[in-house]
């Protein structure tokens, strides 16, 4: 609709600066900024400060004790196990799915994308529920599982499955837009010159999606480590055995062991802050690339 | 003068967009601000509108200095290059916007909007959204919206840039008629010289933030007063050594010798040439049909330039040797320009 | 393609299918009886109301935050911008206990209100606050890109025609933002309905008072009452589906206006 601006007015500071008499009043500015800062401080910053404060309330020594507690370590290991598996499976899936969706035409594409996104839109409790229904007492799979003594529900496999489920779309969701925006031109050119599929993927596609992929993995890992609802349903809550870090937090808090609860939380919080930093970096790089 | 600019200066950082700009516009005239990209014409327009503030100088509308008067109170209407129609409002609401803002009563608004819609020829389109209109239609709505509050001055920023070529000439004529009919003073920015010549009563030529020349289209075209103006208009060619052509005065040091196709007469060897004695031989190197004439490229005296021949004249071929006579040329010296007439013509008139 | 499909089925489709299978085993009256139990009905109301209020607050604050982040410059803006995603990055359990501690009667914020006799933790207000927390990023991040891309020309045009800043915002800028606001609101609302971890600590989980629907499902599961759990879950899914549907409808209507076509 709009024309090429043949002569746009010269260098302005800030691309969204409005002119002369269309600028808002200073008072409105100050009010809005103050409101925003206050809101974010109360809603976001204070909870973070609470975690740190409560973790170290009894001193650094006690903090270390809580963090290196056997149960806690067990929970950490289980959490890591589930996270790693989830990341691997979902990366593989994410790459294949995003590739398939962006490079091929077929009907029902949108439907497929919606399906893939489903785990994110579903409540974590319901996510846990469906696995219980599939593998739990009521299902026809149960007796079979009982025979081979492979328990899913209320055992580690269940936790891992739930984790994979809720983080399922994270990676494909991040790389899909990049792939779609990129188009098929470069790959087609390479194919015409005789490159094989895998080479094309490695040398052309992968570099493009590098940052989106990294960000997707980070998001996936974060959600995997922090997943609570779904894992809670499938867990069985056996301390030291089927308890992940978030569940351990719940247990400690429920036992009124506040300091340890927050100490364990601080581990997860550090991870959250790392994610935010990574995201900022990725966005910064992405923005610079866009300006090149 | 209805609109006056005095000693206007405007810089963006180290870039000088307006350099001591000054001019006057009479009431009711339709004026074009013409110049290449970056010459400062849009800056001038926006300063008149009140969207930018000059660093120094005065902007006077109807006798009042309006530097500190906000845009909405200057009595101007503005049509943006991309129209900036409010996408979520219907045609009716878009046009009515300036009126609803001034809290006029509904009946009056309805009357005025209906009047304008008829004026722009879009009756029946009131409930449409901008996305449902063609480019030309959107532009007309943009006009109507700017005109609704009855401004005395209408400012347009490259109004035809986004229009298809075919629709463009129609719209140009429509705009010109409309503005004259309404009696508003109109100023529009363009980088298209044909457009400026066709539409405006007067042209203000800008270059590097300065005003080069102002005058009627004919004036500027026929009598350029600056080097820039002389080379900006028409299809110009440069002569490497004009003195080789018979016969022009020697003016000493100069920058360029510029000619336009209409300054040149090309005749076949066997044709009657009025100034045969002064003609010089050249070779036709290219021939293009231009619809209403042929455009020839001629190599002559180490220069290459364009000339024209009518459709009813005997045909010329590429490679043919022809006689070339140049009636006049422009000589630029620094910033000034002079018109040199071929002395052969003068002699003739003297003789008679 | 094949791999995509296999993985998709294994992990997503089959488990979801089991839900359908299980539901079909139950009769309609069975389902109806479960979901019309008073305690369940109240939990619907609690979940819906708190989600609605929290999402509305987030819609308003989201626009303000987006505006401030896009239009203004001030020290620390970058940090604020980077923090917005915190609710996504922070595990729900951590958020849950942090918020509980903060708003309990002895907490930093809770104690201030306790002086006036206002309890926050273990009330519906507490639930709402937790839901506001998790919904912050939705509207902000939906509105920000749109706001960034709005051509300043629209505002200049409105300004020249005499509109005040307030009117320009209301009539010119806001309509451009509505689709994004609705999308953000819908997503936040859907998330709030299903949220468990952040809420379950601060809620206190008193039946008929602060019991949210996901919690009821959880308790049914712990008692192995799969049918009840499933029935209630169905209602939740239905609600989520309706929300998604409405959000989509709004998107379509707005695309129609924008893209036009005769």
- For B274-298, give one letter per residue: b (16+ CB within 10 A) or e: ebeebbeebebeebeeeeeebebbb
Residues 6-65 of A with CB under 8 A from C: 14, 16-19, 21-22, 24-25, 28-29, 32-33, 35-37, 39-40, 42-48, 50-51, 54
- C-alpha to C-alpha distance for B280 and B195, rounded to whole angstroms: 36
**pLDDT tens digit sequence for A120-177:** 888 999 988 888 888 877 776 776 777 777 777 888 888 888 898 899 888 888 888 8
Q: Is residue C27 a contact partner of residue A130, using CB atoms and an 8 Å limit?
A: no
Q: Looking at the predicted structure, is the pLDDT value of residue C134 above 90? A: yes
Return the SS3 of A290. helix
Report, in angstroms and rounded to the nearest whole number, the Rg of chain A calculated over CA atoms.
24
Q: What is the pLDDT of residue B169?
A: 84
Q: What is the pLDDT of residue A152?
A: 77
Angle at B137 between CA B136 and CA B141, to 5 degrees: 120
The tokens for C260 are 């036009």
Q: Which chain C residues contact residue A229 at CB under 8 A?
A: 92, 196-197, 214
Helices (H), chain C: 2-8, 14-25, 28-35, 38-71, 77-83, 86-89, 92-103, 108-114, 124-149, 152-160, 165-168, 174-194, 197-203, 213-222, 226-259
Among the partner residues A116, A136, A277, nearest to C8 by beta-carbon distance: A116
C226-259 helix and C38-71 helix, angle to the nearest 10 degrees: 30
The tokens for C232 are 């209630």
Confidence grade of residue C262 (pLDDT, cut at 50, 70, 90): very low
**pLDDT tens digit sequence for C41-85:** 999 999 999 999 999 999 999 999 999 999 998 898 888 998 998
Identify which has the larger pLDDT, A284 or A240: A284
Closest C-alpha among B212, B235, B236 to residue B224: B212
CA–CA distance from A262 to each of A63, A70, A266, B119, C202 (Å)?
A: 9, 16, 6, 73, 15
- C-alpha to C-alpha distance for C30 and C87, rounded to whole angstroms: 38
Q: What is the mean pLDDT of residues C121-143?
A: 93
Q: What is the mean pLDDT of residues A100-119?
A: 75
- Whole-structure pTM value: 0.80
Q: What is the pLDDT of residue B114?
A: 94
Q: How many CB pairs under 8 A join A and B?
A: 60
- B71 and A21 in contact by Cβ < 8 A? yes
Q: Is residue B149 a contact partner of residue B102, using CB atoms and an 8 Å limit?
A: yes
Nearest residue of chain A to residue C147 (CA atoms):
A16
Nearest residue of chain B to residue C151 (CA atoms):
B84
Identify which has the larger pLDDT, A189 or A70: A70
* Peptide bond preceding B94 in cis form (omega within 30 of 0): no
Nearest residue of chain A to residue B73 (CA atoms):
A21
- B71 and C160 in contact by Cβ < 8 A? yes
- C-alpha to C-alpha distance for A123 and C240, rounded to whole angstroms: 9
Q: What are B282's strand-pairing partners?
A: B322
Mean pLDDT of chain B: 88
Nearest residue of chain B to residue C177 (CA atoms):
B88
- B130 and C261 in contact by Cβ < 8 A? no
Highest mean pLDDT among B13-17, B163-167, B204-208: B204-208
Q: Looking at the predicted structure, is the pLDDT value of residue C137 above 70? A: yes
**pLDDT tens digit sequence for C210-222:** 889 999 998 888 8
Q: Which chain B residues contact residue C262 at CB under 8 A?
A: 132
Is the Cβ of C184 closer than 8 Å to some Cβ of chain A? no
Provide ipTM, 2 decimals: 0.88
Question: What are chain C's partners, defined as 3 or more CB pairs within 8 angstroms?
Answer: A, B
Among the partner residues C158, C161, C258, nearest to B87 by beta-carbon distance: C258
The tokens for A266 are 């601080």
Q: Looking at the predicted structure, is the pLDDT value of residue B274 above 90? A: no
Q: Looking at the predicted structure, is the pLDDT value of residue B149 above 70? A: yes
């Amino acid at each position: 609709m709009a024309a090429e601006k043949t002569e746009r007015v010269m260098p302005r500071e800030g691309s969204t600066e409005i002119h002369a008499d269309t600028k808002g009043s200073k008072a409105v500015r100050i009010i809005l900024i103050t409101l925003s800062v206050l809101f974010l401080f109360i809603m976001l910053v204070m909870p973070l400060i609470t975690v740190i404060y409560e973790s170290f309330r009894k001193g650094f020594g006690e903090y270390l004790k809580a963090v290196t507690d056997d149960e806690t370590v067990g929970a950490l290991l289980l959490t890591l196990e589930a996270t790693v598996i989830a990341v691997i499976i979902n990366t593989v899936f994410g790459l294949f799915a995003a590739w398939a969706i962006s490079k091929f035409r077929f009907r029902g594409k949108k439907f497929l994308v919606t399906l893939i996104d489903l785990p994110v839109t579903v409540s974590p409790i319901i996510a846990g529920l469906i696995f219980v229904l599939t593998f739990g007492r009521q299902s026809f799979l149960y007796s079979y599982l009982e025979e081979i003594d492979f328990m899913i529900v209320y055992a580690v496999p269940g936790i891992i499955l739930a984790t994979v489920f809720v983080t399922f779309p994270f990676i494909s969701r991040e790389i899909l837009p990049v792939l779609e925006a990129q188009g098929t031109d470069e790959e087609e050119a390479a194919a015409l010159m005789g490159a094989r599929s895998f080479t094309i993927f490695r040398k052309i596609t992968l570099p493009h999606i590098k940052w989106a992929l990294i960000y997707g993995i980070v998001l996936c890992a974060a959600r995997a480590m922090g997943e609570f609802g779904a894992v809670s349903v499938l867990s069985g809550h056996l301390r030291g055995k089927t308890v992940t870090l978030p569940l351990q937090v719940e247990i400690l808090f429920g036992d009124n062991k506040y300091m340890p609860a927050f100490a364990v939380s601080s581990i997860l919080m550090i991870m959250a802050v790392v994610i935010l930093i990574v995201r900022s970096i990725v966005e910064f790089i992405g923005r610079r690339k866009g300006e090149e | 003068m209805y609109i006056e600019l005095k000693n206007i200066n405007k810089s963006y950082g180290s870039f000088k967009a307006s350099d001591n700009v000054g001019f006057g516009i009479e009431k009711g005239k339709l004026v074009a601000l013409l110049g290449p990209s970056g010459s400062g014409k849009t800056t001038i327009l926006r300063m008149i509108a009140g969207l930018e503030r000059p660093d120094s100088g005065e902007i006077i509308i109807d006798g009042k200095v309006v530097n500190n008067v906000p845009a909405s109170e200057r009595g101007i209407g503005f049509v943006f290059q991309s129209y900036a129609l409010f996408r979520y409002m219907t045609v009716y609401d878009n046009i009515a916007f300036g009126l609803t803002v001034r809290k006029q009563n509904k009946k009056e608004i309805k009357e005025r909007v209906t009047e304008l819609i008829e004026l722009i020829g879009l009756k029946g389109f009131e409930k449409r959204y901008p996305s449902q209109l063609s480019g030309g239609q959107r532009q007309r709505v943009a006009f109507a919206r700017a005109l609704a509050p009855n401004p005395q001055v209408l400012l347009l920023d490259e109004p035809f840039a986004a229009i298809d070529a075919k629709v463009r000439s129609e719209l140009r004529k429509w705009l010109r008629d409309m503005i004259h009919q309404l009696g508003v003073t109109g100023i529009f920015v363009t980088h298209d010289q044909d457009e400026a010549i066709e539409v405006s009563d007067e042209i203000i030529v800008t270059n590097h933030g300065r005003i080069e020349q102002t005058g009627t289209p004919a004036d500027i075209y026929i009598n350029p007063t600056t080097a820039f103006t002389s080379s900006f208009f028409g299809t110009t060619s440069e002569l490497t050594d004009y003195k080789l052509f018979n016969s022009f005065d020697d003016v000493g040091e100069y920058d360029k010798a510029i000619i336009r196709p209409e300054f040149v007469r090309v005749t076949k060897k066997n044709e009657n040439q009025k100034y045969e004695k002064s003609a010089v031989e050249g070779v036709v190197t290219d021939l293009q049909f231009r619809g209403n004439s042929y455009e020839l490229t001629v190599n002559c005296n180490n220069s290459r330039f364009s000339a024209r021949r009518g459709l009813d004249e005997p045909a010329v071929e590429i490679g043919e040797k022809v006689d070339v006579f140049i009636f006049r040329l422009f000589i630029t010296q620094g910033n000034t320009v002079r018109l040199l007439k071929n002395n052969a013509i003068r002699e003739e008139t003297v003789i008679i | 393609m094949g791999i995509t499909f296999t993985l998709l089925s294994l992990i997503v489709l089959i488990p979801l299918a089991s839900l359908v299978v299980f539901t079909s085993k139950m009769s309609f009256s069975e389902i109806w009886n479960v979901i019309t139990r008073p305690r369940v009905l109240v939990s619907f109301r609690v979940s819906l109301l708190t989600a609605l209020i929290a999402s509305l607050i987030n819609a308003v604050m989201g626009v303000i935050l987006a505006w401030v982040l896009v239009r203004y410059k001030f020290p620390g803006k970058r940090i604020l911008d980077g923090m917005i995603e915190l609710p996504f990055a922070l595990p729900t359990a951590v958020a849950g206990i942090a918020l509980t501690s903060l708003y309990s009667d002895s907490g930093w914020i809770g104690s201030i209100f306790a002086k006036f006799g206002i309890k926050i933790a273990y009330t519906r207000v507490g639930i709402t606050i937790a839901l506001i927390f998790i919904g912050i990023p939705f509207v902000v991040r939906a509105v920000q890109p749109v706001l960034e891309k709005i051509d300043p020309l629209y505002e200049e045009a409105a300004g020249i025609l005499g509109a005040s800043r307030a009117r320009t915002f209301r009539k010119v800028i806001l309509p451009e933002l509505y689709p994004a606001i609705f999308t953000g609101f819908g997503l936040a609302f859907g998330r709030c309905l299903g949220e468990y971890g952040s809420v379950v600590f601060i809620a206190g989980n008193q039946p008929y008072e602060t019991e949210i629907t996901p919690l009821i499902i959880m308790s049914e599961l712990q008692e192995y009452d799969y049918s009840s759990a499933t029935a209630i879950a169905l209602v939740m899914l239905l609600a989520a589906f309706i929300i998604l549907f409405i959000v989509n409808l709004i998107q379509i209507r707005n695309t129609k206006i924008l893209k036009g076509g005769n």
